[in-house]
Structures are given as C-alpha cells and as structure tokens.
C-alpha cells in the first residue's frame, strides 16, 4: 500500500496516476482534473464524498467515475482508517485505447443532473478490481521491458470491468440542505464580487457566525477556504486563456495582488506568471 500527495489544484502531468492509500483524518481540497478521468474506489473508513452541489456518505465498494472537469473532494468523518484507491487516466489515452465497437469512456457518462457516476462493486468484483490496480501500481513504479504496453493492457481491463458494473441511477441522498445549495450557487456566480461573511450573511438574512458554522458543518471546510479555492480555479482558467496576471487578480475578486500571488503559488505550486508561461510553452519545470 502506497501513499501520495498530489498538487492541491488537481493538476496532473502524467497520463496515468494510480495509488492505494490508507490513513487518518483526510481532508482534500475541492479540485478538478481538466484532462483526466478519475476512478475513485472507497475501500473502508468513515468519509463523505463531495461534488460541486452534493455530498454523499461513502459505503465500502463504492466506485465513483468522475468525468474530467468535475469538482470533487473526500473528507473523513471519524478517526477510523480511511482506505481508498484512485486512478487518474488522461482523456486522450482512454480515447486511444477505445475502439469503434467499445467506448471505454462510457463509464464516465452521466445520467441527467448527476455530476459523477456511482457504481457498487460486489465482493468478487472488488477483489478483481484491486488485483488489477495493484498490478498497475507495480508496473508504474518499475521500468521493466514492455511496462508501457502492460500498463495500457491493465488500464483497458480496469475500464472494461468498470463498464460491466451497472451505474446507480438513483444517486444517494444528498445531505446538503437546499439553503446551502443556494449559497453555493450564489458564490459560484459572484466570484468577482465582495463575498465577505458580512455581505453573505446580510444577503441570506443570517448572522455571520451562524453562516460560517452552517457552511462548515455540511461542507467540511470553512466558507473562506471554499471561496478561495473556487477563485483560484477560475484564475487558472483565465490564465490559460491568456489573461494578464493583474486582470485575473481583479476578475477573480482577490483585490490584493500580493495575497493573490501567495495563494495561487501555494495552491498550484508555481506563481501565476510561471503557470501562464507553462500553458503556452509546454514547460512543466
């Protein structure tokens, strides 16, 4: 069993990233993978899975197929060991592995209004899935002859297995109240504006203390952290489109330029200027 810490913003530079982790007190930030699909398998523990607008308590054997560009995070809810497997696969690689008769990306298709595709593995399917995952991890960590081809074979087998498991048409009960959904939607559409506790509490007719406590109790993170992470994601999108760092700082509602630089660098791992340059030169160093 291996451990890994990925970039906070979800940026991946390899076609395949796969790990089987077991630890306590996990709290990943909201993130999205712009050019990777993800298969997330919950093995054990007490945790809640979040999408942009919903939250579901996880059950061992839950296999969640996350399309590229979709917000998600997982947070533990007790001190029990949290065990999960995640596999990120570049979208173009999945397309290349597919055929005219077999679309391996089908497991990432969504029913109406769903943000992720949820499947329930039987004990037998879980055993098979984990065996394939462990072979893939071993291949990724080694450099044996033919390892690249072996990895593609294993990825194909994993996706074929995933596609044979029926998708849950009725998503688990969303534990996020409708009032909180309204707050989230308001934030997401007003990132450029003042989103201080004072402004939000006045708009929704609640006290700042209640609003902050209410938000964190369901979302598992503070209101300030949520707003910052959403603004930073928007900043990445705008920089990728060629916007200047100064304009992006203003458009994303940071106001203070120095705070924007520090927050972006911590979240993405490089400064906004270096990130923008990397998008147009292909230099990941």
Domains and CATH numbers, the chain: 16-164 (2.60.120.280), 178-281 (1.10.10.60)
Identify the pLDDT of residue 155.
98
> What is the pairing mode between strands 36-44 and 47-51?
unpaired
Identify the pLDDT of residue 204.
92
Identify the pLDDT of residue 10.
61
The residue among 278, 204, 207 whose CA lies nearest residue 239 is: 278
Q: Are the C-beta atoms of 102 and 47 separated by less than 8 Å?
A: no
What's this model's pTM, rounded to 2 decimal places?
A: 0.79
Identify the pLDDT of residue 145.
94
Identify the pLDDT of residue 284.
53
Identify the pLDDT of residue 1.
54
Residues of the chain with pLDDT under 70: 1-10, 282-285
Identify the pLDDT of residue 8.
57
């Amino acid at each position: 069993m291996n451990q890994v810490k990925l970039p906070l913003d979800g940026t991946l530079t390899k076609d395949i990233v796969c790990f089987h982790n077991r630890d306590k007190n996990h709290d990943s930030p909201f993130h999205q993978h712009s050019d990777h699909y993800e298969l997330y398998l919950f093995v054990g523990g007490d945790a809640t899975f979040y999408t942009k607008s919903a939250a579901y308590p996880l059950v061992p054997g839950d296999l969640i197929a996350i399309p590229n560009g979709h917000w998600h995070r997982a947070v533990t809810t007790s001190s029990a060991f949290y065990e999960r497997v995640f596999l990120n696969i570049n979208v173009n690689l999945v397309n290349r592995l597919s055929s005219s008769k077999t679309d391996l990306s089908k497991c990432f298709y969504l029913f109406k209004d769903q943000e992720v595709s949820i499947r329930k593995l039987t004990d037998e399917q879980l055993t098979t899935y984990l065996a394939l995952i462990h072979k893939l991890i071993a291949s990724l960590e080694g450099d044996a002859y033919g390892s690249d081809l072996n990895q593609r074979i294993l990825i194909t087998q994993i996706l074929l297995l995933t596609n044979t498991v029926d998708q849950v048409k009725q998503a688990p009960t969303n534990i996020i109240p409708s009032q909180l959904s309204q707050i989230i939607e308001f934030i997401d559409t007003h990132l450029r504006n003042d989103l201080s506790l004072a402004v939000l509490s006045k708009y929704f007719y609640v006290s700042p203390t209640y609003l902050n406590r209410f938000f964190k109790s369901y979302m598992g993170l503070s209101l300030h952290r949520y707003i910052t992470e959403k603004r930073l994601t928007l900043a990445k999108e705008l920089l990728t489109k060629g916007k200047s760092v100064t304009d992006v700082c203003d458009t994303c509602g940071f106001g203070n330029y120095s705070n924007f630089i520090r927050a972006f660098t911590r979240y993405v791992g490089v400064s906004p200027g270096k990130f923008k340059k990397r998008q147009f030169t292909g230099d990941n160093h």
